[in-house]
Each structure stands twice: as C-alpha cells, then as structure tokens.
Amino acid sequence: MKHTNVKMLQGRALYELMQNEFVDIIWSMTSIEREKKLTPIRIPLYKGLIGSRLLLINTKDKSKFRDIHSKKDLLQFYAGQGHDWPDTYILKNNDLPVVTSANYEGLFGMLLLDRFDYFPRSIIEIWDEAQAHISDEIIVEPNLIIQYPTASYFFVNKKIQKVI
C-alpha cells in the first residue's frame, strides 16, 4: 500500500473508491449504506474504540454539563456532526438532537458560535483535535462518554476480486 498525499474529505474519498479510479482502498467507520456500496475488510482497525465518544465543548459551557448523568439529561443538548457521518445516523436514531455540517473544520467554529452544544469525537481522535483547538477555548468534557458498538474497516470497491 502507498499513502496518497492528496487530501480528500471522507465523502469524496468514498465516492472516488466507488468510481474505482483514483482511490483503491480507504479506512472508515462502517455503516449499512457503506457496506452495500463497498466491500468491507472486516478487521476492526481500532478494536471498536471508534464508538467510544468523548465530548468537545466550549470552555464557557463546562458548568452546563455537570448535571448530566443519563441519556435523558443529554437530550436537552445538541450534538454537532458531519452531515454524512455514520455517527449522525446513530445519534439521531437514539433520539439525540443533532446539527450537521458538510465542513469538518467548520464544526469547530459552529461549536464556538453556540450552533450546537457538544461535538462527540472518538477517544482515538479527540486528544489531537482538542490540542489543535486549545487556543479556541475548546476542551474535552471530563465526565461524560457516549458509547455505541461500531467499527472502522478498510473498504475496497465491489469490483475488486479476491487474490489468493
């Protein structure tokens, strides 16, 4: 395998993989829709930790989250998510209010502008993201975790044949 230096949003990379032209393999969180369109290689790359979500919040909102002890308590707050992320579907199907955006970096600005209350990120990615936005007054909420079963897999185009 050779890593590409071309930067693509996840949705674009998935599209390119389906077209079978510029991208041969990607890794991404699985979903029913993705598995219908692409072939997953069912080795959970992060051992399921991609479904363990900590919350990025605006520093000024820290006190709002102190009294959350259940899903019911969390229902009064809005999550921010990518419009085409599998997590968006998972959160909405669990009745959690979600605000979406097509722009990943824009989600951090939306959090700071109070367009939503928290940005759930996997425990694998949250620490680097929090560090990258520390000057923006974005912090990791220290007491809450949202967990759901999911996995990240490598995906290839459906037309790829097995090589033995």
The pLDDT-based confidence of 23 (bands split at 50, 70, 90) is confident
How many other C-beta atoms can be found within 10 angstroms of the C-beta atom of residue 71? 11
Q: Which DSSP category does 18 fall into?
A: H
Identity of residue 99: V
CATH classification number, 49-147, choose in 3.40.190.10, 3.30.70.3270, 3.30.70.3460, 3.30.1360.120: 3.40.190.10
Q: For the chain, which residues make up each domain, given as ranges?
A: 10-46+151-157, 49-147
**Each residue's pLDDT tens digit, 3-17:** 777 778 888 889 999
Mean pLDDT of the chain: 91
Residue (of 90, 83, 101) closest to 149 by Cα position: 90
**Each residue's pLDDT tens digit, 97-133:** 999 999 999 999 999 999 999 999 999 999 999 999 9
- Evaluate whether 37 touches 43 at the Cβ level (below 8 Å): no
pTM to 2 decimals?
Answer: 0.86
